[in-house]
Amino acid sequence: MSSPDTTTDEVHETDDAAEPAVDDTRDALVASLADALGDALVSSEVQPGVDVWVRVDAGAWVETAQTLQGHCGMVYFNFLSAIDWQPSPFGRDMDAVIDREDDGEPAAPADLEWGITGGEQRFQLLARVHDPIGHLGVHVKCDLEGDPPEADTWTVVYPGADWHEREAWEMFGINFRGHPNLVHLYLPSEFEGHPLRKDYPLLARRVKPWPGIVDVELMPGQDDADDEADDGEDADDS
């Protein structure tokens, strides 16, 4: 694999001069992970003085946890969740009066755009572990394949991952192999669907427009050039 530092060119510049441009601690952490995992470390990003992200291969998901806990001092389990990178077909623009203009087919699926450290699949696991002595935290991401997406359980390494994985299972439909008790956590046991998936409609918004929409309407006489509301149809009155 290429050097783990290749993706750090997206680091946003802070205008604080005291901010260190190079973060030795976090770079060292990424380097030691790269040593232990080899090609399974897909990409990484360090925001100097702020945070660090790594993305690993799904096959090395548990190995990553073991390495972080055993060799990097990351004994504190912070959280585990997931991100659905497929934008909602119903639209979530605050400009829209209702979520979807008509009752026709959902719009064609938009292209996937990933955030920090990139991605390959629709579902990404996101976990954070922390070193309570060195005061350093790391985000671990992992692309999940398959339908339903599958991952190995972290409960063998961090017992605290138990409820977090149950939550991710019911909210995103991610199947955790080897989880001791994969049942509903919040929702009733007969509940169908995975609410935090982007294609799960928020029914309250389908029935009635959100009254808070007035907060983002333009004030009378306000030019829409200086605020960033990107509605193209009002551009002709300038």
Partner 1 sequence: MTAPTQTRQMAYIAGQASDARVNVELETEGMTLNIGPQHPATHGTLRIIVRLDGERVISAEPVMGYMHRGYEKLTEVRTYPQVTTLINRIDWLGSFANEVPFILAAERLMEIEAPPRAQWIRTALFELSRIANVVLFLGDMGVQLGAITPVFYAFRDREFVLNQIEAVTGGRFHPNFDRIGGLKDDLPKGWVDETRGALGRIRSFCDEMENLVSGNEIFQARTRSIGVIPADMGLAYGLSGANIRASGVDWDLRRDGGVGLVHDQLDWKVWTHPDGDSFARYWVRLQEVREACGMVEQILDGIPSGPVMAKVPRIFKVPAGEAYVETENPLGIMGYYVVSKGDLVPYRVKIRSASFNNVSITPWVLRGVYVPDVISILASLYFILGDIDR
State the minimum distance, in angstroms, from the CB of residue 38 to partner 1.
Answer: 26
Neighbours of 104 (CB within 10 A): 7
Instruction: List Cα–Cα distances, 186 to 58, 167, 201, 228, in angstroms.
Output: 26, 7, 18, 38
> Quick one: tokens of 52?
């660090």
> Whose Cβ is closer to partner 1: residue 62's or residue 128's?
128
Burial of 147 (0-12, 13-18, 19+ CB in 10 A): exposed
Taking the complex as a whole, how short is the minimal distance between the CB of residue 136 and partner 1, in angstroms? 9
Question: In the complex with partner 1, which residue's Cβ is closer, 34 or 82?
Answer: 82
- Output the smallest distance, CB 173 to partner 1, in A: 14
Closest approach of partner 1 to the CB of residue 197, in Å: 10
Nearer to partner 1, 6 or 181 (CB): 181
Closer of 133 and 207 to partner 1 (Cβ): 133
Binding site for partner 1 (CB under 8 A): 12, 14-15, 50-51, 53, 75-79, 81, 83-84, 87-88, 92-94, 113, 115-116, 126, 128, 132-133, 135, 139, 158-160, 162-164, 171, 184-188, 195-196, 200, 202, 205, 210, 212, 215-216, 227-229
Beta bridge partners of 54: 44, 140
Least spacing, CB of residue 30 vs partner 1, in Å: 17
Long-range contacts, 7-15 (Cβ 8 Å, 24+): 7/43, 7/44, 7/45, 7/117, 7/118, 8/44, 8/45, 8/46, 10/45, 10/116, 11/45, 11/46, 11/47, 11/48, 12/47
Name which of 35 and 234 has its Cβ closer to partner 1: 234
CA–CA dist 168, 91 (Å, integer): 23
Nearest-approach distance from CB 175 to partner 1, in angstroms? 20
Q: How far is CA 232 from CA 85, 106, 219, in A?
A: 26, 22, 17
Nearest to partner 1 of 39, 215 (CB atom): 215
